[in-house]
Amino acid sequence: MQKLRIVVADDHRLTAHAIADSLNSRGYEVVATCGGVAEALSAVTQYEPEVLLTDLDMGPGPSGADLIDRVAPKFPKMGIVLLTAYEDPKLLATGMPTLPARVVYRVKHHVSDLDELETAVVLAREYASGAGRQEKASHHQPLT
């Protein structure tokens, strides 16, 4: 069985590598850790992962929502996890793009262990493949 390929994007490199190492330890294949939107776009195009896990606030410039806006139409079967410190993504920017229904939104301080992060990855993949049923949005459910 092929490992689930994941791209991790977070402007805090330590966070990106910690997430990648944690997911690798669970048997996933993190094919790239990216520190910005341009790097993540390139990695998604190159590796065509089953899941993109991205931070919402990527520092100055494009946000994780902008990244999702660019890759979601091109990769409709790719699951997406949006991991952020923001309870509400609208707090980041007023002109934020509408996120696809298959995005699983997680607030960092609500993720208490690796099991919860792994659940988000699995849910994102299921939603993108059509195998999972989405429920109402919250910090524990997909964003609609």
Tens-place pLDDT, residues 6-59 = 999 999 999 999 999 999 999 999 999 999 999 999 999 999 999 999 999 898
pLDDT, tens only, 43-53: 999 999 999 99
> Which range of residues forms the domain containing residue 97?
5-129
Burial (CB < 10 A; 0-12, 13-18, 19+), residue 61, is exposed
Q: Residue 32 sits in a domain of what CATH number?
A: 3.40.50.2300
* Domain membership flag for residue 27: yes
* Domain membership flag for residue 141: no
* Domain membership flag for residue 138: no
* Domain membership flag for residue 60: yes
Give the CB-side neighbour count of residue 114, counting CA atoms within 13 A.
11
* Domain membership flag for residue 44: yes
